[in-house]
Structure 1
Amino acid sequence: MTQASNLAFYDRVRAELADIDAQGLTKPERIIASRQGSVITVGGRDVLNFCANNYLGLAGDERVAQAGIRTQERWGAGTASVRFICGTLEIHKELERSVADYLGFEDSILFAAAFDANGGIFEPLFGEEDAIVSDSLNHASIIDGVRLCKAKRYRFLTSDMDDLEAKLKEARADGARNIVIATDGAFSMDGYIAKLKDIRGLADRYDALIMVDDCHATGFLGPQGRGSYAYHGVDIDFLTGTFGKALGGAMGGFICAKAEIVSLLKQRARPYLFSNALAPAVCGSSLEAIRIAGGEEGDALRKQLFANAARYRAAMTEAGFNLLPGEHPIIPVMLGDAKLAQDFAARALELGVYVIGFSFPVVPRGQARIRTQMSAAHTFEQIDQVVDAFRTAGRDLGIVG
């Protein structure tokens, strides 16, 4: 028999869900019945997909898929273990070497998820004598990772170098032993690229380390797609990234750093020590994606990606939509109201375009949006079709004239 107190608990959960829905904040799960790509199957029909992190179009690439299949045939489904017990395969070491070489670091360490990489980096490296100065728009995984650490915490306004310097001065005045500046390389909800050249200058002035989450930059920003730090031509101390976006679209994360940092993380990072090793199929697919991204084909894909972004941005601006400025292939269409964003996404799907409305708590209240994302797999014709569909949806909902 359920106790009265437990009944009250479930009543409270139902009430909270009802309140979320009433505010237009419910995030629906739409079922996809196809591979990831520029066109996907949703609800029994093919629709254009403009909201995936599939920047290079490799998530559904046959070569990437077959590499994963071959790897699983050799190594099986998984290790059934965490790595320090009996879970490190040769292919794990191969992938760590490959991603470190590609991105220009001494070594790397793999995690089951990129969220775990950010959850595991701070606690082993920084203690209560240290300070973490974090961008206010950083990804939730950085925020949670910082919370696990005993270091003093400081936040600076996004890309505001004056505020960053003020926080660095404050940390130094408070007697911090080591200071690390933590930032996204590219901010996932806005498409802003971090001002790493300016951050590097301040880090040098105040003797600080730099940690960058490059999940939305690795594979397509900068020379050879090496990320935001390569885009700006600066050095950083720690890089976290993912195989779940441009580098194959599967899952799993990594930290790149100096060899001794990686060695310490392998001894102390809890998400690494207490999570099963990355599945072999993911390793195989990721290795193939790195091979493609780092070569001449990767250059061609990056050129197409940014040409697509420029075409889309120009056409949407001409159509009267409010876009956040930038050059990143994340291009948010700002709508403000959460319910309006959900209605727009639903109308777009009716018109054959798959996008998602983002609202609180993913973005601040009053800043709901449709986060559109370009892929190298998109054609100019598909981009024009999406703009036409958005124009129709915008007129139907009174967003554009």
Structure 2
Amino acid sequence: MAAILDQFLDQNLTELKEQGLYNEIDPVQGANGPIIQVNGQSLINLSSNNYLGLATNDELKKIAQTTIERYGVGAGAVRTINGTLDLHVKLEEKLAEFKGTEAAISYQSGFNCNMAAISAVMDKNDAILSDQLNHASIIDGCRLSKAKIIPFLHSDMEDLRKKAKEAKESGQYNKIMVITDGVFSMDGDIAKLPEIVEIAKEFDLITYVDDAHGSGVTGKGKGTVKHFGLEKEIDFQIGTLSKAIGVVGGYVAGKQKLIDWLKVRSRPFLFSTALPPGDVAAITAAIQMLIDSTELHDKLWENGDYLKAGLKKLGFDIGASETPITPCIIGDEKLTQTFSKRLFEEGVYAKSIVFPTVPKGTGRVRNMPTAAHTKEMLDEAIATYEKVGKELGVIS
């Protein structure tokens, strides 16, 4: 290793550990369900994005297995050569039906969607109005486009209107886009889409919603755009297939001409091998489940409300979440890390979230109840929170 690299790594890794910002990775031994095994210990799992429990669904596993027998384990090529299987076409038709749009395009990950879609439409002559708490993939997608990035205060519609007006009246930009998460993953609050659409109409803004944590969760499962009835008003609907859907990948849904453009200009679509066939078949079946029934969605919300009520009653600061995402805001980074470790020792896996994922001084343990949790599991988790919270002086 080069001496300068060795010095850089030693210094910066040491600093992260001293500040309580170094993240330890815990390999899960087996399936990522409501109960997981880590280092041989059985733990109640409150850190998974597997909102509906579909990642371990028996029917989806069988569908994936059967599909692999027929199609193999990989697509074999990028989509534009001969990696587009009939399965991919069916998936994208189902996604468009699910999101209420003319068409959809699938990608290898939700992160890829934002890297692909933003830079395929926006360039150095454009501007992007971006919520300050947008996901890292949005930030990176905006940077890649080379457009002027204009952040606005989180869900502050006065600030958005002010900056949209300034950008429009400056005459500097060919196109202006407004980008927001649908559900903000660290706090669980929902974007003010009706107000955003109103401002977009006033200033002719392109509208872009990343609903990674909303699809399967809000709008009776169909997402935050559907929650507000704005399917005809949002230009880009972005989603992931790895959270509530339970598999892997991402998608963009919108007008047919938008999807046509992304198929010829979005680089991850052009230069990365297509989603594997077993995954594609499982995703398509999972989406059909959400179209056919709200049972899993309803159970998710029931469990989320139950956990929130229990933690709030104990005196924990759970922020202003409007979704099942339940943060317990501790503040100090080192205390947050210690809190998470003590939960682990007592049988609850709830990962600490600190800077740079959240602003400094707002460290939290983020809880993700799912449709697969039982009331008994949640009761045990709440009791563990009470014990650790009192022990560390977080609650009295």
Counterpart residue identity of residue 89, structure 1: L
Which residue does 1:354 correspond to in 2? 349
**What CA deviation, in whole Å up to 9, does each residue of 1:50-86 have, x standing for no partner?**
1111111111111111111112111111123211122
Q: What does residue range 2-401 of structure 1 map to in structure 2 within 5 Å? A: 6-175=2-171, 176-223=173-220, 225-234=221-230, 235-248=233-246, 250-296=247-293, 299-401=294-396
Of 347-356 and 76-85, the range deviating more from structure 2: 76-85
Q: Aligned letter for 1:295? A: D
CA-CA distance at 1:150 after TM superposition: 3.0
What is the SS of the residue equivalent to 1:400? coil
Give the CA deviation at 1:112: 0.9
Post-superposition CA distance 1:233-284 (Å, at most 9, x none): 2231101111100012x21111111111111111111111111111112111
Q: Secondary structure at the match of 2:74?
A: coil
Deviates more, 1:200-209 or 1:332-341: 200-209
Q: Which amino acid aligns with 2:121?
A: L
Deviation of the 1:109 alpha carbon = 1.1
Which amino acid counterpart does residue 341 of structure 1 have in structure 2?
A: T
Rounded Cα–Cα distance in structure 2 between residues aligned with 1:183 and 1:53: 20
Cα distance per residue 1:299-337 (max 9 Å; x no partner):
122221111111111111111111112320111100011
In the alignment, is the contact (CA less than 8 A) between 1:310 and 1:327 conserved in 2?
Answer: no
For the residues of structure 1 that align with 2:118 and 2:4, how far apart are their CA atoms?
A: 38
In structure 1, runs of 5+ residues without a counterpart are: none
Q: Is the 8 A contact 1:215 1:241 kept in 2?
A: yes
Distance of 2:249 and 2:301 partners within structure 1: 26
Give 1:195 shift: 0.5
Q: CA deviation at 1:384?
A: 1.2
Superimposed CA distance per residue, residues 218-239 of structure 1 (whole angstroms, 9 cap, x where no aligned partner): 012113x111111112231101
User: Distance between the aligned counterparts of 1:154 and 1:320, measured in 2?
Assistant: 37
> Which stretch has the larger CA shift, 115-124 or 39-48?
39-48
Once the two structures are superposed, residues 320-365 of structure 1 have per-residue CA deviations (whole angstroms, 9 ceiling, x without a partner) of 1111123201111000111111111111111111110010111111
Structure 1, 20-29 or 119-128: larger mean CA deviation: 119-128
Residues 37 and 377, structure 1, Cα contact 8 Å, conserved in 2: yes
Three-state SS of the structure 2 residue aligned to 1:148 is helix
**1:55 counterpart letter in structure 2:** Y
TM-score (norm 1): 0.95
SS at match of 2:145: coil
Aligned-partner Cα distance in 2 for 1:14–1:130: 40
Which ranges of structure 2 fall in alignment gaps of 5 or more residues?
Answer: none
Per mean C-alpha deviation after superposition, the further-off stretch among 37-46 and 329-338 is 37-46
Aligned residues, how many?
393
CA shift, 1:170, in A, is: 1.0
Match of 2:54, SS state, is coil
Contact 1:309/1:327, CA 8 A, preserved across alignment: no
User: Which runs of structure 1 show a deviation greater than 3 angstroms over 4 or more consecutive aligned residues?
Assistant: none
For 2:125 and 2:40, how far apart are their aligned partners in 1? 57
Q: In structure 2, the residue corresponding to 1:35 is in which secondary structure?
A: coil
- CA-to-aligned-CA distance 1:159-198 (integer Å, 9 cap, x gap): 1000000111011012233221100000111111000011
Cα distance in 1 for residues equivalent to 2:148 and 2:336: 37
- SS at structure 2 position matched to 1:59: helix
Question: 2: CA distance between counterparts of 1:327 and 1:379?
Answer: 21
TM-score normalised to the size of structure 2? 0.97
Partners of 1:339 and 1:328 lie apart in 2 by 27
